[in-house]
Chain A
Amino acid sequence: MDKTLAHLADFHDEAPLVKGNLTFHDITEIVSSHTEKKTPLQWYGAFGLALSGLMLMIVMIAYLFWNGTGVWGLNNPVGWGFAIVNFVFWVGIGHAGTLISAILFLFRQQWRTAINRSAEAMTLFAVVCALVFPGIHVGRVWAAYWMLPIPNQMGMWPQFKSPLLWDVFAVSTYFTVSAAFWYVGLIPDLASLRDRATGLRRKVFGVLAMGWTGANRHWRNYEKAYLLLAALCTPLVLSVHSVVSFDFAVSIVPGWHTTIFPPYFVAGAIFSGFAMVITLMVVARKVYNVENIITIDHLEKMNIVILVTGSMVGFAYITEFFIAWYSGVQYEQYAFTNRMFGPYAWAYWTMMTCNLFFPQFFWIKKLRRSIPFMFAISIFVNVGMWFERFVITVVSLHRDYLPSAWDYYTPTWVDVLTFVGTFGLFFTLFLLFLRFLPMVAASEVKGVLPEADPHFYDHEGDGHGADHTLGVAKSKTAH
């Protein structure tokens, strides 16, 4: 039996997570140096562009506040337009970060360590972009705080039975917990930056690192906190977009009122989020020279997630469509025919092609390992998922129960430029993150190197010590 086991131990089907034989020090060096060197000119170029986008958004919002929501393309049946579409789009993007950092952590997927930091940053910034829209679409912005249940002299409370209020709770909880999780994960790396710095920089990172010394006790507390936060974030991955889906599904608008919405929205959120991670990482790993840490294997795994979640979304499309027919409810049936052949058929088919058709190319191993190809697909998925929200929101509303009330919704230039501007906000934040914080969780990546195993240098120091003693050594620590 021992012989069989020894034979089997030679089976290596997993490529090392970190390539290029990097040492612990190499990883610290690669990750930290980007925040320490003189700001490159290209960064200023990119940041300038992003900042102009942010300015554009601010100007558009100022214009909106001055004139009122009449500057948007909303009309009588279509009372929800770009604002809600963009809100759902951005909240959805965030879900990949939480899935990577929380659920993949609980599933012991070690490859997550290379991407979790930037994906979580993406989550936070996407949620910030999302939060812009509920804030500005209320019409009377000076009353936006009415969304919160604050005791007041008017004795006036929000409608607790409204999913829009649940959204306020769900998204703000999501932001808070994600930010805490992200920050806790950052602490050991902030301490590394502190230890490498001098002067004011050292003081600032010293405060941010909260006195981390890398002591055994620190690590114990850190890992406990990390596990607890992962466990708290896991239900949030499901709950946030489920609550967002309730915004639609509780009402009896045909095309909205369907029970599969919660899991279907969650799958779509993860799908779009992973596409955004691919879009960002394909560029960032090249520019920041971390191709040995965020390897092609990492990208391939994310592409598989895109394939799986894209197919789940496709599964939901098929189910919705079938049940609309099966229900025998003529309004439901009409809603789906109208999506396919009505005035917004172009939007529907854009969505179907981008979300259902294109990701299927990832069945082919060669394509899911091709950088230009995956970049193109990730853009298609981003576009497709935006159109999915557009189709759900606008197409269902523009033809409701009363044909006399039907109308066609066209966004105005203010709608479009506000949306474009949110990308400015997003990239401004993301570029600041890349500039000042370690974009890879260096301490976690070190933890998944084979050298991190305490028995790596046993057995003649050939690097196979861990394999031979793993069973014995670990079972001791487990009890």
Chain B
Amino acid sequence: MSETVKRNNPLFWLIDPMRSTASQADPAYRYSWSQMAWMLPLAIGIAGLVVSAVGWATNSQQFYFSYLIGWAFCLALTVGAYFFVIIQHLTKARWSVVIRRIPETLIWSFPLLAVLGIPVLLGMHDLYHWTHHDLFDPTSENYDAVLAGKESYLNTPFFLARVAFYFIFWTFISFKLYTLSVRQDNDPDPAIPKLQRKYSAIGLGVGAIVVSFAAFDILMSLDPHWFSTIFGVYFFAGSFMSIMAVMILVSITLQKNGMLKNEIKLDHYQDLGKFLFAFTVFWAYIAFSQYMLIWYGNLPEETVWFRHRMEHGWEGYSAVLLLGHFILPFMLLIGRWGKRWLPYLGFMAIWMLTMQWFDMFWLIKPVMEAEHASLSLYDISSWFGLFGVFAAAFMYRFSRHALVPQRDPRLHKSLSFTNS
């Protein structure tokens, strides 16, 4: 490790494990915007969380569900970034190098998300029905034979151990990928690309299972009777779609403020737009597979999950999801022109991020009140609160290093990339 790149002190480790290397960045790749870029989201985030805190004091169950929705949204973005970075390394992708620092910076959100996840753990009794002990007690009137059969998996200590493992694993791989890349900015060690591929390969293989089980544990077990083998893939599909939207929005914001003006070209946006479109369709394919097979099989233990989302007002929300997450964006994103017209592409990116949040809402909220569809103020405040803090940490970290992996051996290919 060269002299200029040192690890950060432990207190800031959560935000950035590296000391700032901004001063060593090539002037063209240096962050040149005001501190507002992270202060503003932080202020919004804190305000949102303060509002949510009121919710916690007055209606704690509502708060916990709202909080989980916002937290799952941030987790999905980070998981999407994680797979994006890994796939770029493994395929030796050339086009994406100029924008890769964005998801690379984003994956270091895992430790922060672990800390922000503490309220979820505190609210487990409200969130997760299977934490109620009397379900497993044959003498109790609440005894549930089906859930009792799952007790060896769905119990608090094992759940905590699993979630801890997921975060330790994600953090480990992300640490390697993030720090290797930042190190490379000033240390052209030819071994680095190889190491990046090595950790990416491990991160892909184990990561696929980890993400799938994380989705089972954190989201699917909210309705502990219900099961669907595709659920992990469903979570992944939305995650991978939303990271495209994030990269589009961050790139537009940077360029609006005078950074990377010549580096990120319409050609890059067009590819991001293609992926945004492709994974909108992929999400629909997965969602349809899940829905159609359960509808067709018509087994009550499976259909009940959709039943909850098809009555008492939830049917309207389901229709919005179908229209807003697939039908409209399919038509709006299919053309080439829309991917090369930035105001439009930016709008679609915000739309799709909103739909990703809405998807998390649709997965989580009906568990709380299947009988009464509602969108609470705290759902919104927790989303803005968590996403604000999350975005602030991201922007702050992003400002501390070169805006692109400036010594990546494929950078020049990315700079001269054209999209014919």
User: Which residue numbers of A lie inside 8 Å of B, CB to CB?
Assistant: 1, 4-5, 8-9, 11, 13-14, 108, 235, 238, 242, 246, 249-252, 257-263, 311-312, 315-316, 318-320, 323, 326-329, 363, 470-471, 474-475, 477-478
Choose from A246, A263, A471 the contact partner of B415 (Cβ within 8 Å): A471
Number of interface residues, chain B, beta carbon within 8 A: 51
Given A4-B406, A259-B289, A261-B293, 16 more contacts at CB 8 Å?
Answer: A11-B410, A235-B281, A238-B285, A250-B292, A250-B297, A251-B297, A252-B297, A258-B293, A259-B230, A262-B285, A311-B205, A312-B208, A328-B146, A475-B416, A477-B418, A477-B420
- 8 Å CB contacts to A: which residues of B129-177? 146-147, 149-150, 153
Q: Which of B233, B281, B301, B406 contacts A263 (CB 8 A)?
A: B233
Residue of B nearest to A260 (CB): B229
> Is A260 in contact with B150, judged by CB distance below 8 angstroms?
no
Convert B178-206 into 0s and 1s, putting 1 for each residue whose CB lies closer than 8 angstroms to a CB of A. Answer: 00000000000000010000000100010
Q: Which residue of A lies closest to B229 (CB)?
A: A260
Kindly list chain A residues whose C-beta atoms are within 8 Å of the C-beta of B296: 250
By the criterion CB–CB under 8 Å, are A320 and B409 in contact?
no
Can you identify 25 A-B contacts, CB atoms within 8 angstroms?
A1-B27, A4-B26, A8-B412, A9-B412, A242-B289, A246-B293, A249-B297, A257-B299, A258-B229, A259-B228, A259-B231, A259-B289, A259-B290, A259-B293, A261-B293, A263-B233, A263-B286, A326-B150, A327-B227, A328-B225, A363-B201, A470-B416, A471-B416, A474-B420, A478-B267
Pairwise interchain contact A323-B289, C-beta atoms closer than 8 A: no
With A8-B409, A8-B412, A323-B227 already in contact, the answer to whether A260 and B233 are too (CB < 8 A) is yes
Q: Once the chains are docked, how many angstroms separate the CA of A261 from the CA of B293?
A: 9
The CA-CA distance from A78 to B292 in the complex, in Å, is: 25
Contacting residues, chain B, for A13 (C-beta < 8 A): 92, 193, 409-410
Q: CA of A471 to CA of B413 in the docked complex: distance in angstroms?
A: 9
CA distance A326 to B290 in the complex (A): 17
How many residue pairs between the two chains, A and B, have CB atoms under 8 Å in the bound complex? 108
Which residues from chain A contact B229 at a C-beta distance below 8 Å?
Answer: 258-260, 316, 319-320, 323
Q: Are B26 and A1 in contact (CB under 8 A)?
A: yes
Whether B232 is near chain A, meaning CB under 8 Å from some CB there, is: yes
Q: In the complex the two chains form, is B227's CB within 8 Å of A263's CB?
A: no
Interface positions of B from 253 to 273, Cβ below 8 Å from A: 265, 267
Across the two chains, which residue of chain B brings its CB closest to A161?
A: B296
CB-based contact A478/B289 at 8 Å: no
Nearest CB in chain A: distance from B414 CB, A: 11
Closest residue of B by beta carbon distance from A259: B230
CB-based contact A474/B418 at 8 Å = yes
- A329 to B301, Cβ gap below 8 A? yes
Q: How far is the CA of A293 from the CA of B90 in the complex (A)?
A: 24
The interface residues of chain A lying within 8 Å CB-to-CB of B26 are 1, 4
| Chain B residues positioned under 8 Å from A318 (CB to CB) | 209
